Structure formats: structure tokens, C-alpha cells
Amino acid sequence: MKIKKLGAIDIGSNGVRLLISNVLESEDKSPMFKKSSLVRVPIRLGADVFLDGQISDENISRLSDSMQAFDLLMKVNKVEKYMACATSAMREASNGQEVVEKIFKKTGVKIRIIDGSEEAKIIASTDIHSLIEKQGKSYLYIDVGGGSTEFTVFVDGKIINSRSFPIGTVRLLDGMVSSKMWKEAEDWIKENTKNISSIEAIGSGGNINKIFKDSEKKEGKPLTYKYLKDHSKYLSSFTYEERIRVLGFNPDRADVILYALQVYTNAMKWGQAKIIHVPRIGLADGIIKTIYYNDLSKNKK
């Protein structure tokens, strides 16, 4: 058996993550991907970009320090290869490319700013295939981030359509999502699910992972639309401070989780999905698989 160590850096609008994974290779067997460690830093880049249009000097410094720390963590863990991807906040920042160049010069960490379609494609390469490859099944995949939400419709294991909308938790918190954008998302989901008689949802993102964990459901068991609506009412009965002090939420989760629930429940209602699967995967998991399979295809040429 061979073991490869790969790293994924996900620079989102609400937080920055480093995922280190072991890839276990055995002859005549599919590779196994095992998470080794996950580090998250609460740098809310979206708070800068969605209000001011650019990343502040303070957050450039914090992001640079984080990349330096992540680089050291990857070195001590003997990571062979990594990829760093920045999403909604960085791609909308007027100084996004400048920040990328500054950080590379200071830390040696190369950051790729990816668009919404590439983000959705990377996420679709994760373990959700164990769900979506079932024949006769249809799914609405909902990935909610701080700056955007990616929707993908799967029928019989194939992508029918996919689209990214600038509807994210940090953007909603800052009041930066118009009713027109909500209507566009509603129309897109209804149009792309109208001929599907029965559809289930799949949810990813830090907020739905937290909701699933708190539900105490067994791994592999879905949550219902009713549960999400009831849970939203329950969380709404607490103030922001109480969600931190009483419920034990991290501060940068406590103020956005209700907005995440709004996106999930709206999408499920528009697509008429009664249940949502939570495989607890995200962009970082997709980056790991992208690195591995890209290398595999290169070696075969």
C-alpha cells in the first residue's frame, strides 16, 4: 500500500481552511481518501468585499499570515502537493489579483481565483457520487458559502444543469442580496426541476454540517425539510450572544447560520424536495480529489 499526502486550501468569504488528506493506494482497489487534519481560520473576507469592493490591509495581512502558517503545517506533515483556491470574495475584490501576487511573493503559496462554474465542478467531484450515481434518482445539490451558492441538478447520476448565484451567508448578513436575485434563483430551480417528479436535496457547507451534527442523526440519514424549518425557528428564539454562550456556536457561525437555513429551505421548497442528505463534504474535499486524479491522468499519458 502507498500513502500520498495532499493538501487543499479553501479561501472562502466567511473562513479559510486547510485540509490535509491521506490517499491510500492499493493494487486493484479504488483509492481511499482519509482526512488527516482540518484547520479553519475565521477571516471574513466577504465583510470587506461585499461592502467596500476590496480586501482591507488588515485582512490581507491576516490572510498572508494564515498562508504562511498553512505552508509550515503542510511541510511538517510532508504534504506532497497542494492547491489553494479562492472563491466568491476574492474573485469580486477589485484588488483580488494584487492580493494573490502579494501573498505569493511573501509566502510562496500560489492561490488560484476560481469562478463559480469551476467551483461547482470541483465540489461535484467529491464523495457525493456515492449518492448521485443511483439510477432513477434525482437530486438538487445545494452548496452554501459566505459569498455564493452553487446549485446543481443531477438526474440518473448525470449533471443536467449547474449555476452559481451571488447569494451567500455573509452577503445576506450585510443586506447585499436583492429580491431580484432571490427571484432569479427561484426561477432557475423551478425551471430545472419542473419535469422531475421526485427529487431529493444534497447540502454542503459549514453551516449544514453544523446543523447535521447538532441533529444527532446517524451518518447517512437525511434531514427533513420540516426539521430545517423547525430548527430555524428554534435558533431564532436565541439572540446572537445566546447562540454563542448557551448553544456553543463559534462567533462567525452564530450570526450567519440562520441565513444558511434560509437558503437551504427556500431551495428545497422551490425544488419540492422533502429531504436533504448531508455527506459533510465541501470544496476542500473536491480540491484533494482534483489534485489526485489530475496527477493520475498525467501519469497515464
Beta strands in 116-269 (DSSP E): 138-144, 149-155, 158-165, 200-204, 223-224
**List of domains in the chain:** 2-117+284-299 (3.30.420.40), 127-281 (3.30.420.150)
In the chain, helix, strand, coil percent, each to 5? 50, 25, 30
Give the Cα separation of 219 and 90 in Å (integer).
Answer: 33
CA atoms within 13 A on the CB side of 228: 30
> Is the sign of the CA dihedral 281, 283, 287, 293 positive or negative?
positive
The pTM assigned to this predicted structure is: 0.88
CA angle 56, 85, 116 (to 5 degrees): 95
Q: Which helix (H) or strand (E) holds 205?
A: none
Residue with cell 428554534: 234
The per-type count for the chain, helices as H runs and strands as E runs, is: 14, 11
**281 contacts 142 by C-beta, under 8 angstroms:** no
Longest CA pairwise span in the chain (Å): 58
Distance of CA 20 to the CA centre of its chain: 16
- One digit per residue, the tens of pLDDT, for the chain of length 301 reads 899 999 999 999 999 999 999 999 988 888 999 999 999 999 999 999 999 999 999 999 999 999 999 999 999 999 999 999 999 999 999 999 999 999 999 999 999 999 988 887 887 777 676 677 666 789 999 999 999 999 999 998 888 998 989 999 999 999 999 999 999 999 999 999 999 989 999 999 999 999 999 999 998 899 999 999 999 999 999 999 999 999 999 999 999 999 999 999 999 999 999 999 998 888 999 999 999 988 766 665 5
User: Of 193, 196, 200, 207, which Cα lies nearest the Cα of 263?
Assistant: 207
